[in-house]
Amino acid sequence: MACLLKVPIGNDRGVLSFTTPERDLFILKDVKLKGKIQKLKDRWLIGLHHNWHDYKFTYNPLFDFHMAGEEDLKEVQGRSIPLIPMDACNFVPACFRPTEGEKFWDVLYVARAVFFKGIQEFFDTVRSLFDQGHHYRILFICPMAPYKASDKKTVFYNIQEVYDRMFSDKEKDYFTLLTLNTRYPFPFDLETLAYFYRSSKLFVHFANEERRCRVAAYAWTSEIPVVGMSCVGSLLPSDLRKEPFYYEVTRYADFPAKIIAAVKAAAPSSADLERVRSCFADRFTTVDLAKQLETLLGAPGSLPDMSRYALAHLDIRLGRHHGISEGPNNIAMSLEQWVDLAQDNPDAMAEAARTSPDPEKAIEQKVQRLPITQRIKNHFRKTVITEKVDA
């Protein structure tokens, strides 16, 4: 989607960020849309948020900057690209925070029921821990996608069957599989999800390729250790990829030993923990992002006017899509309609940013109240948006 990061005022440009799925599925396939985005650059700085690492990346000057980890992009011709080494993972809200209260669960994992999350390997690890006599209390929060026959190769639809086969009723007293099939992929609001983190001693992640794990960032911001492979640890600066807050695993067979060590260890308490939190807690990172954007806008070293920035909830907003995903992470408006709005009526976007912490949803909700024929006819042009946003 087009995430509004800064509003334009007068001759000062605003900032919009698109995502790589929108780039690949819409922008690069539509010459007309690409031309419209090119015209935006007079008033807008255009960014690209990378939802996955890309080691065969081809630079496209249509985008003024890229949001990804420093190790996540490799340009095919070795060209330098304007990079902001941050993405959705780096903007964790304040509800994820450390606590000195009771930790009920020993191990927490949060992952959608898709195969690349390593769920079978996670089950195998729990089986090994139990067989060794380590009956940790384990909570697995697992959002379930609606069934689609075409997704059987990627979605772990029979997860409950596998869980029932692998663990006895008594073992299930210790190992809770919490599958949720509502509000996919975010069944809980973040305040509720943060409660589970604060109530857990340790977070695990079993993906062996996923580099930008938002759920791991939630754990580090809550100051609980993470056990995972190097792709998970890539979220951290290289000098912080170490115990006692990150336990690196090089192969799945090593997960049980690392989990045992991490559970036995005292809760991390060092100056490095504040450094870890500062990589992800949005009270630190939003200001850092604004400063980097000011540099790209030609005002390096200046103090950002934060009232012109819309930087709340970037952990969700930066990764949203236009009509190509399920649930609340989707905006039911076409990408072309968003581009038209940015071109014809940036004041409407500014008003939405001023009145709502989620400007994209605010505009979507106002437009959805228009009669369907009027929505189609006007394509969110200036007269329609002004009337609805100012109402």
Q: What is the mean pLDDT of the chain?
A: 89
Asked if 37 contacts 28 with a C-beta cutoff of 8 angstroms, the reply is no
Sign of the torsion formed by the C-alpha atoms of 61, 62, 66 and 70: negative
Asked if 309 contacts 290 with a C-beta cutoff of 8 angstroms, the reply is yes
Residue 176 has pLDDT above 50, yes or no: yes
Residues 6+ apart with CB under 8 A from 309: 5, 6, 286, 290, 293
| Nearest of 346, 380, 345 to residue 366 by alpha carbon | 380
Counting every residue written for the chain, the total comes to 391
Residue 380 has pLDDT above 60, yes or no: no
Asked if 330 contacts 349 with a C-beta cutoff of 8 angstroms, the reply is no
Residue 376 has pLDDT above 60, yes or no: no
H or E element at residue 48: strand 44-49
Residues 6+ apart with CB under 8 A from 360: 1, 2, 3, 4, 317, 320, 331, 352
Q: How confident is the model at residue 364 (pLDDT cuts 50, 70, 90)?
A: confident
Residue 378 has pLDDT above 80, yes or no: no
Helical spans, DSSP H, in the chain: 20-25, 31-40, 119-131, 159-166, 169-174, 190-198, 214-221, 230-233, 255-264, 271-278, 282-296, 314-317, 335-344, 346-355, 359-368, 372-378, 382-389
Asked if 240 contacts 246 with a C-beta cutoff of 8 angstroms, the reply is yes
According to DSSP, residue 391 is labeled -
Helical spans, DSSP H, in 65-117: none
Q: How confident is the model at residue 370 (pLDDT cuts 50, 70, 90)?
A: low
Q: What is the pLDDT of residue 325?
A: 60
For 47, the token pair is: 């960014």
Q: Domain 105-278 has what CATH class?
A: alpha beta
Identify the bridge partners of residue 66 per DSSP, sorted by sequence position: 48, 83
Where on the phi/psi map is residue 376: left (φ > 0), alpha (ψ -120 to 50), or beta? alpha
Q: List the chain domain ranges.
A: 3-91+281-346, 105-278
Kindly report the pTM of this predicted structure.
0.87
Q: Which carries the bigger pLDDT value, residue 315 or residue 321? A: 315
Reduced to 3 states, what is the DSSP secondary structure of residue 163?
Answer: helix
Q: Which carries the bigger pLDDT value, residue 1 or residue 26? A: 26
Q: What is the pLDDT of residue 327?
A: 61
